[in-house]
Amino acid sequence: MKIAILTGGGDAPGLNPVIRSVVKVAKENKIEMIGIKKGWAGLIELDHFPLKWEDVKNLHSEGGTFLLSSRTNPIKMENGIKRVSDNLNQVADGLIAMGGEDTLGVANELYKNGVNVVGVPKTIDNDLFSTDYTIGFDTAINITVSAIDRIRTTGKSHERFMVVEVMGRHAGWLAVHSGLASGADLILYPEEKYDVQEICEKIKKLKHEGQKSGIIVIAEGAKEKEGSHTTQNKELDAFGHVKLGGVGEKLSKVIEKNTGIETRHIVLGHLVRGGTPSAFDRVYGARLGYGAIKLVLGKKWGQMLTLRGTEIRSMSLEEGVKELKTVTNDYRDLIRQLT
């Protein structure tokens, strides 16, 4: 049996441990692995190579993706799904696709068109409703919290309020977890529109009570009550998403103007995607890799892996990508009490 593997969309710490585990377990089960470079672009261009244990055995501590990635979307191309299917059939009997809603959405379309495929959930946004955690989320939280802890000290030194912009287009899990873990004074996220006047009043109140510096965590997808997303430009990517960015800078300027309190902003952005994966993501990655080969051996095509509690389970790709997991009411209530 020959099985191909690819990673699509944004990179995430923990992908390489998954790849390493897949190749090792495949080797033990006499499965030949084929690496596909640059996500779906690699299957459009048929850019592939034999993936050996020697290539990946030291990947457990490396961030990013050994297989490279892209934002290519075959669904938007003329005969894109057919081209991917035909090319995959030339080199492998099935495919392991690792990614978020967009990548796994393509995987689901391939399965519906007769392709043998299984999915592995990956995104630092943790917004796949099918799983409690996605690969890379734990590492991204820890990097974000570490960065905020450092930012807090310089804010204290200069008696400034610091606005920290983090990733999160439609779901605010990264902002929520990192904000709660770092004791942020305000946490702003896409699921709850914010009022600039209320924010300014809160900061003036903190200042009046003697607090001379503070932290505001805001997700890139957060919106004002009467506003829309803050974007870098109007261009759309291959999956129809606008390029977000600038909401932290915008908010910091408004706060300083309306309160007279010195306020700075910082964008963590892609910083939290890189570097060494956490111990959790390394072990989780190993479990996902093992689980992916188990699905292959059981010919459970059209399934994706999930984490429920502490158990690795599976569900249909169709079900797994049907909706996003957004910040729940219990977290919203907690944020209201603690900020």
Instruction: Give the DSSP H or E segment for 243.
Output: strand 242-244
CA distance 206 to 185: 9
SS3 232: strand
CA 68, chain centre distance (Å): 16
| DSSP annotation of 121 | E
Annotated catalytic sites, by residue?
Answer: 125
CA distance 107 to 316: 11
Helix, strand, coil share (%) of the chain residues, nearest 5? 45, 20, 35
SS3 122: strand
CA distance 204 to 259: 7
